[in-house]
Chain A
Amino acid sequence: MSSGEQETKLIAILGKFIDIVSKELPDDVMKKLTELRTKEEAPLAKAIYDVMFDNLDRAKKLNRPTCQDTGVIQFFVRSGSRFPLLGKLRSILREATIAATKSAPLRLNAVEVFDEKNTGTNVGTDVPFIEWEIVDESTNVEIEVYQAGGGCSLPGRSIVLPPLAGYEGAMKFVFDTIVDWGINACPPLVVGVGIGTCSTSAAKLSKKAMLRPIGTSHPHPKAAAMEKSIEEGLNAIGLGPQGISGKNSVMAVHVEGMAHHPSVLGVGVTVGCWANRHGIIRLDEHLAYEVVSHTGVSL
């Protein structure tokens, strides 16, 4: 295959993948939602879960996006330094976004900054948003797509705390954010918490935490214990599906951290809604691919 043909092929694969992610939730989210649904006893909470699942069934059958807000398209790329299309990947991801916007169809969610006009294409300055990680010597690439809705992006925030506030201060920030802002973000939520030095590093890690597959814990035992404790605490508040009150508030709480300056503790919170549309695809240098996040999906 020539490099041009390869490019066209990758755009087609990724375009189809983004399309599917808007219509089918990944395995980890489905599993957790199913589990939380069975725990609910109150008729109202049960009724809401019934509608959510019915909606997912119909989205699949009718080939339509599950939620009307298909978000701003974001990519998290872990590319081998020797993946042959690395140098073209930025434009490939942009083209794939445009293709999926037409095929799905996705909502036009890119409003050009400063001019405040919708671009009409779902792409704009630095949208799709891309974060890069380069893996030395590898020839493979792993691409994660996330569709960031408005309602679920709204609670996101970060703060830099003085050292005396400590991890307790961080907990207060997380709990206040979820109770004050989580209800309109379509619970049950996935909560990502990031610990760093400045607002940027904390926010970035909180996004990484939010995207970690549900059912995994942090490898550090203290961080894992912290995740469990925050999850139990937030669930005890019982926001329930759509904030109508119920047995749980969250699908998961994930914490990520980095070494930080001794005088400060940066804390970030990123929230995902029940319709947590994220997906992971892996490709090798011949563009043979594997969809990691969704079983039984063929592109």
Chain B
Amino acid sequence: MKKVLTTPIQDEDIASLHVGDIVYLSGTLVTCRDEGHRRIVAENIMPSLPMDRIAIFHAGPIVKEVEGGWEMVSIGPTTSMRMERYEKEFLAKTGVKLVIGKGGMGTKTAQGCKESFAVHAVFPGGCAVIAAEEVEKIEGKEWPEFGMPEAFWILKVKEFGPLIISIDTEGNNLFEANKVTFHARKEEALAKTSKNIVSIGGL
């Protein structure tokens, strides 16, 4: 059974989620990346769209202007880590419950997820066709002065995903945990590879 979160996302909807769970999203998803985070956190300016209990997407879409609105050509996640500096305050200020991006985020965001009761999830990178297909409609935009990739695009999505929970409401962090494992394995693998290389001889 698909687990689908619907905006406005209630605390009990995400309370039982754990890192590694797969969910989908229906409802309001807003694209927000570097400039949007900076404006909200550093400049203390809020968009007119109420953000409480909705989801954001670290993404810069390709949007085509058509009669009476816009059409989503292509959309995919960008590296979430770039927003690490602001995400914790961002969650506290906006009430956003679900942050979607690529790759993990750091300890500060994990702390923010715990304090503001929110989650971070990853959408598989390089799967832009699926993501665009799951956008039902572009409902509007704010802050067009940021340009197409950075503007706040307000999207209506249906079963958008798969989204892999990478930080849960307890602050567990899948990518940070993986990093520790990968580094430990690296030491072992590197020692073995170096030994092999030396034994190849003459190198």
Q: Give the interface segment out of A46-54, A80-88, A91-99, A288-296.
A: A46-54
* Also in contact, A47 and B79, with CB within 8 A (given A184-B103, A237-B189): no
Which of A66, A186, A237 is the most central at the interface, judged by chain B CB atoms within 10 Å of its CB?
A237
Q: Which of A47, A176, A183, A273 contacts B126 (CB 8 A)?
A: A273
Q: Which of B78, B124, B175 contacts A51 (CB 8 A)?
A: B124
Query: Is A69 within 8 A of B133, CB to CB?
Result: no
Distance (Å) between the CB of B43 and the closest chain A CB? Answer: 21
Which of A64, A65, A68, A172 is the most central at the interface, judged by chain B CB atoms within 10 Å of its CB?
A68
Count how many chain A residues have C-beta atoms less than 8 Å from C-beta atoms of the other chain: 50
Task: Write out the residue numbers on chain A whose beta carbons fall within 8 Å of the beta carbon of B174.
Answer: 244
Query: Is B22 within 8 A of A66, CB to CB?
Result: no
Residue A175, interface by CB 8 Å: yes
Query: Is B125 within 8 A of A179, CB to CB?
Result: no
* Also in contact, A68 and B62, with CB within 8 A (given A51-B127, A237-B186): yes
Query: Is A233 within 8 A of B129, CB to CB?
Result: no
**Do most interface residues of chain A lie in helix, strand or loop, or is the interface mixed?**
helix
CA distance A171 to B196 in the complex (A): 11
Task: Write out the residue numbers on chain B whose beta carbons fall within 8 Å of the beta carbon of A274.
Answer: 126
Which of B76, B174, B192 is the most central at the interface, judged by chain A CB atoms within 10 Å of its CB?
B76
Task: Write out the residue numbers on chain A whose beta carbons fall within 8 Å of the beta carbon of B178.
Answer: 183, 243-245
- In the complex formed, the residue of A with least CB distance to B75 is A68
Query: Is B76 within 8 A of A68, CB to CB?
Result: yes
Q: Which of A44, A166, A184, A234 contacts B102 (CB 8 A)?
A: A184
In the complex, which residues 89-125 of chain B have their Cβ closer than 8 Å to any Cβ of chain A?
102-104, 122, 124-125
Task: Write out the residue numbers on chain A whose beta carbons fall within 8 Å of the beta carbon of B189.
Answer: 175, 233-234, 236-237
Query: Is A151 within 8 A of B125, CB to CB?
Result: yes
In the complex, which residues 57-83 of chain A have their Cβ closer than 8 Å to any Cβ of chain B?
58-59, 62, 64-69
Residue-wise interface mask of A (259-296) relative to B, using a CB-CB cutoff of 8 A (1 in contact, 0 not) = 00000000000000111000000000000000000000
Q: Could you list some 6 contacts between A and B, CB below 8 A?
A: A51-B130, A55-B124, A55-B129, A107-B62, A242-B124, A244-B178
- The 8 A-B pairs with the shortest beta carbon distances in the complex, nearest first, are A233-B193, A68-B128, A68-B76, A55-B127, A68-B74, A233-B189, A229-B196, A184-B103
